[in-house]
Amino acid sequence: MRVLVTGGAGFIGSHLVDGLLAEGHDVAVADNLATGRRESVASAARFFQVDVRDPELGALLERERPEVVLHHAAQTMVRVSTEDPLYDADVNVRGLLNLLTACVRHGVRKVVFASSGGTVYGTCETLPITEDQPFRPESPYGITKTAGEYYLRYFSDSFGLRFTALRYANVYGPRDHVSSEHVITVFAETLLAGGAPIIHWDGEQAKDYVYVEDVVRANLLCLDRGDGEAYNIGSGQPVSVNTLYAMISVLLGQQHVIPVHGTKRLGDVRLFYFDCGKAKRELGWAPGVSLHEGLHRTLRWYAGRGSG
């Protein structure tokens, strides 16, 4: 199958490229390298440096003729979205619309969309969170991801463009970069550099964490399943920031390092974790990598190869 991965030089995207190639798919990558790394893209994939907001994206789709697009190019940080909501909307909404319009024009069959379960739902009174929970985003980033799902349904209803939305929990694993501000990456990088990590809020906020390899499997299953649906992709278990820090510091032999406590960040949610039963029933997907094993693999990569 011919597949285009937008954001394919990024953390999740580069792992998707590897997974697609391993299954024998023909893979192209579109990435503007704002946060992605060219060296993360497997040599067997065709790489194009292009922004999803650029009109050149349509010409790329016309040349490559992908059957499916895995859309992972995005502005992904809640903090950035609160500081500059216009930029967040420009990338996440205008960029998506540019892509979807090009997909319709050039015969793409389906788009698999990286949504954000941790932000589109907001604070939920009923836990674990199922896909029928109402959207209550609490940050501009969550709002743009919510809008993205509505646009997907519009393009599906109006033009027949098939889609699946994957609402990710907090994804972690090798190749992430400290600039992402993902807590596991920040803890690992800071401890390995000899510093004391900052724990924002009181550290008892708890979230759902999923290993990147499990996210790749979900995307691969959606190449020909899950049309018109949204799925939670997570572990189904909440883990507090304090617990994460304790696990990471022990695995790195840095349990003597006392973290610094900071203030609550704008848009941060107190507690969320998923019910992933729908993904199991309809996609045949369930998380396969435990938190302990995932952290072990992740930290081994940081310590052995560095992410700088």
Q: Give all strands of the β-sheet with 162-168 in edge-to-edge order.
A: 46-49, 26-31, 2-6, 68-71, 110-116, 162-168, 229-233
Asked if 220 contacts 19 with a C-beta cutoff of 8 angstroms, the reply is yes
In order, the DSSP letters of 225-238 are: S-TTEEEEES-S-E
- Kindly report the number of other CB atoms within 10 A of residue 224's CB atom: 13
What DSSP state is assigned to residue 211? E
Residue type, 23: E
Q: Which residues contact 178 (CB under 8 A, 6 or more apart)?
A: 185, 186, 189, 190, 307
Q: Exactly one of 141, 209, 211, 302 is catalytic; which is it?
A: 141
| Contact (CB, 8 A) for 124 and 133 | yes
Residue 141 bears catalytic tag: yes
Burial tier of 157 (Cβ tally within 10 Å: 0-12, 13-18, 19+): exposed
The residues assigned a catalytic role are: 141
